[in-house]
Each structure stands twice: as C-alpha cells, then as structure tokens.
C-alpha cells in the first residue's frame, strides 16, 4: 500500500491492553493515561521505547476509525485538567448509555440534562430533578430509587455532584456535545474563546458572552485589568488559576514518594 497517505496504525498487545483498560474506566485524566500507557508497556513489551502519548493514541484511533469509535481528548470545565474518553461516534444520542441503564433511568438522565442545559449556572438541584420522577417513561420509579440512579450516573462519570447539585462530567460533554447541540439549539451555550459547548463558566454582565473557567484563566493570564473580549467592558469575576500539569506532577510524585517511604518504614 505504498500509494496510501494515511498510515494505518498497527495494534500491538500494548495498544490492545491500553484500550481495554480505558474502556473499563470510560474516562481518565491525562496523568492516569500516561501511567496506564507505561503499565501496558511494562506488562507486554518492557524493552520497547514508550511511544509519545499523542502518537500512541493516534495509532489506536486510526484502527478504531472504521468502527466509529475514537479516543478523544478534552478538558474539565472547572479546572482545565486534560482528560481522555473513549467516544462512540456512531450514536450521538443518550442511547450510547443504553447498555448500562434501563429506559426509565435513561429518561431520568435526559430530564437532568435538560435542567442542566437550561440553567444559568450549568447545575441542576437534586430536588428539581427528583420532582420530575412522575413524568418518566418506562417503569415507575420512586424518589428513593431515583436518588440511587443519580449516584450511579456519578459513579459512571456521566454526572458530577457538588453539594446536592448536579452538572455534566467531562465524559458526558465529550461524548454528547453533538447530541446536545442538535437537541437543544436554543438553550445551548458556547464559549467565546474555544467555541466548544459550555455548561459551566463565567459570563460578561454587559454583553452576555460566556467563557469556560480554564479559558478565562488563560485569556486573562497576567492581566491586571481584565476586559471582556467582546465588548471591552470590565470583567467582574474572579480570575481562576491556570491548570499547571508540572505542578500537578510534582505534587503527585511527592505524594507517591511519601507513600513509598512510609511503606518502607513499616
């Protein structure tokens, strides 16, 4: 196949193991993905040079392409941590969750999603979600049951819970951006900086444009008088810190060093 410009990736046992483990987790932070990759090399091909993560993932994606599956990279909306998820490109709808949840459970997710998309803050209270239980399709569900199902969505990394309020997990945003844009065209919010779907972020009080917190952090970095990129009015919100993977790594390394020194002492 000398004439082909697109190089078809070759899946080794290292790639296969990595893919299986990522499927099990559904979504992982970049730091964990790198650890996972090293682990797979150690188990299957300890003498090989560890491929650059980007090339390693592109390699897998070129094989998955024909199955309409892709390992997709995104960032968490609250603090900009890079995350990776295995995304099904063939079905954009909530039906991709169908293998794990019953019809009434999926409908509960749909109702929660609508409340989250419609809200100003990108959060829906558990009270408001549970009040919709009587309207669910499929088998009747009690509120107690519904609370349990919401926790299941959190465990499966479709929702995040903060103080009794729910928002979408980065995994749900990566997997469902297309579906959300198509289903809620009038309610959907988009970040002025990166043009991606925005669930939670900051907005200009004058012109109403919105920005993800990580985009706000980067855009106004070392800017003592932040102004709206659209109307140039004063930006009234607190500017979050930029996520720094190096700092994060050092913190992780010192944590694991403490752990290993403790275990040596015992």
Given a cut of 90, whether residue 121 has pLDDT beyond it is: yes
pLDDT band for position 3 (cuts 50, 70, 90):
very low
pLDDT band for position 7 (cuts 50, 70, 90):
low
- Are the beta carbons of 142 and 133 closer than 8 angstroms? yes
Query: Can you give the pLDDT at residue 178?
Result: 87
Compute the distance between CA of residue 26 and CA of residue 53 in angstroms, rounded to an integer: 18
Mean pLDDT confidence for 105-118: 95
Query: Can you give the pLDDT at residue 5?
Result: 42
73 burial level (CB within 10 Å; 0-12, 13-18, 19+)? middle
Mean pLDDT confidence for 100-129: 94
Q: Looking at 66-75, 140-149, 166-175, 255-264, which range is the least confident one? A: 255-264
Query: pLDDT by residue (tens digit) across 8-42?
Result: 668 899 999 999 999 999 899 999 999 999 999 99
- Are the beta carbons of 77 and 199 closer than 8 angstroms? yes
Query: Can you give the pLDDT at residue 260?
Result: 52
pLDDT band for position 1 (cuts 50, 70, 90):
very low
Query: pLDDT by residue (tens digit) across 229-239?
Result: 999 999 999 99
The mean of the pLDDT values for the chain is: 88
Given a cut of 80, whether residue 244 has pLDDT beyond it is: no
Query: pLDDT by residue (tens digit) across 164-213?
Result: 999 999 999 998 988 899 999 999 999 999 999 999 999 999 999 999 99
Task: Name the percent of the chain lying above pLDDT 90.
Answer: 68
Query: Can you give the pLDDT at residue 252?
Result: 60
């Amino acid at each position: 196949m000398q004439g082909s410009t697109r190089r078809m990736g070759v899946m080794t046992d290292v790639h296969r193991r990595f893919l299986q483990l990522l499927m099990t987790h559904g979504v992982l932070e970049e730091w964990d993905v790198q650890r996972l990759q090293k682990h797979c090399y150690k188990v299957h091909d300890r003498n090989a040079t560890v491929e650059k993560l980007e090339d390693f993932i592109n390699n897998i994606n070129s094989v998955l392409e024909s199955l309409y599956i892709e390992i997709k990279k995104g960032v968490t909306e609250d603090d900009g941590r890079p995350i990776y998820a295995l995304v099904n490109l063939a079905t954009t709808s909530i039906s991709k969750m169908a293998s794990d949840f019953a019809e009434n459970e999926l409908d509960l997710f749909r109702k929660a999603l609508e409340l989250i998309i419609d809200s100003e803050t990108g959060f829906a209270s558990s009270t408001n979600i549970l009040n919709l239980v009587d309207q669910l399709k499929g088998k009747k569900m009690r509120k107690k049951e519904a609370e349990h199902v919401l926790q299941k969505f959190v465990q499966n990394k479709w929702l995040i819970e903060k103080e009794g309020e729910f928002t979408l997990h980065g995994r749900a945003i990566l997997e469902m951006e297309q579906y959300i844009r198509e289903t809620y065209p009038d309610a959907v919010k988009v970040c002025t900086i990166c043009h991606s779907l925005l669930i939670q972020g900051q907005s200009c009080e004058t012109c109403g444009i919105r920005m993800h917190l990580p985009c706000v952090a980067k855009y106004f970095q070392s800017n003592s008088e932040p102004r709206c990129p659209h109307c140039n009015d004063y930006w009234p919100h607190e500017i979050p810190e930029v996520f720094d993977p190096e700092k994060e790594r050092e913190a992780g390394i010192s944590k694991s060093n403490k752990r290993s020194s403790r275990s040596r002492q015992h």
